Amino acid sequence: SYELTQPLSVSVSPGQTASITCSGEKLGDKFASWYQQKPGQSPVLVIYQDTKRPSGIPERFSGSNSGNTATLTISGTQAMDEADYYCQAWDSSTVVFGGGTKLTVL
Amino acid sequence: EVQLVESGGGLVKPGESLRLSCAASGFTFSNYGMNWVRQAPGKGLEWVSFISYSRRYIYYADSVKGRFTISRDNAKSSLFLQMNSLRAEDTAVYYCARDPSKGNPNPNWFDPWGQGILVTVSS
């Protein structure tokens, strides 16, 4: 079965750039999406179709996807961006989520 | 405002059944595919099932295939998940989530999500 692998945690200083990776076989041939989930809240879509931002999502969130890796980049990271982030893709009649990455802003 | 509200959760014993509902509002429900996604306590997201706008395409995760059934009532803007033969490992918060890719037969991405409903399976 298809798998997506994310780092368990990423740390970043306020104002710096955070990059969260998501790896899967030939992931670049599929569309990747990203979700932000804060404690006690439902997930929120932040990137879809590799690079697109839904309305209301700040411009500091961006995405890329090539080869075996999709990347979520947060430029000028703010304290409010501290959350769990999940990547997601669709493969062979199955939706797959990555295991999630805890982003710490310190 | 697009809104999804889940209901029907609760505490059940292993082997019992439960039916979850998701009431949709703020958009034309019949135009969109819908999903169920769950999250076990302290764990990550796990996709459960998808139903296309027309009900023609239905997919399940291997972990629930044969036990869970997804359905929808477009006239009532409602999504359902019938869960049978429940196991302890089905304990989770269950979210309904819309697929915003209008008219697409496959799940793509999820937006928005409901607030979630807790299902606990324990003896």
As a whole number of angstroms, the distance between CA A88 and CA A98 comes to 6
Instruction: List pLDDT tens digits, range B36-47.
Output: 999 999 999 999
Higher pLDDT, A92 or B23: B23
Task: Specify the higher pLDDT residue, B54 or A18.
Answer: A18
Q: What is the mean pLDDT of chain B?
A: 96
CA distance A66 to A70: 6
DSSP string, A56-97: TS-TTEEEEEETTEEEEEESS--GGG-EEEEEEEEETTEEEE
A3: enclosing H helix or E strand: none
pLDDT in tens, chain A (106 residues): 899 999 999 999 999 999 999 999 999 999 999 999 999 999 999 999 999 999 999 999 999 999 999 999 999 999 999 999 999 999 888 999 999 999 999 9
Structure confidence by residue, pLDDT tens digits, B72-114: 999 999 999 999 999 999 999 999 999 988 778 888 999 999 9
- DSSP β-ladder status, A83-91 and A69-74: unpaired
**Secondary structure of residue B90 in the 3-state scheme:** helix
Bond into B112 cis (ω within 30): yes
Interface of A with B in 29-68 (CB under 8 A): 31, 33, 35, 37, 42-45, 48-49, 54
- Asked if the Cβ–Cβ distance from B113 to A44 is below 8 Å, we say yes
How far does the CA of residue B103 sit from the closest CA of chain A (Å)?
Answer: 16
- Name which of B53, B62, B21, B122 is nearest A91 in CA terms: B62
Q: Considering CB atoms only, which of A43, A90, A93 is closest to B45? A: A43
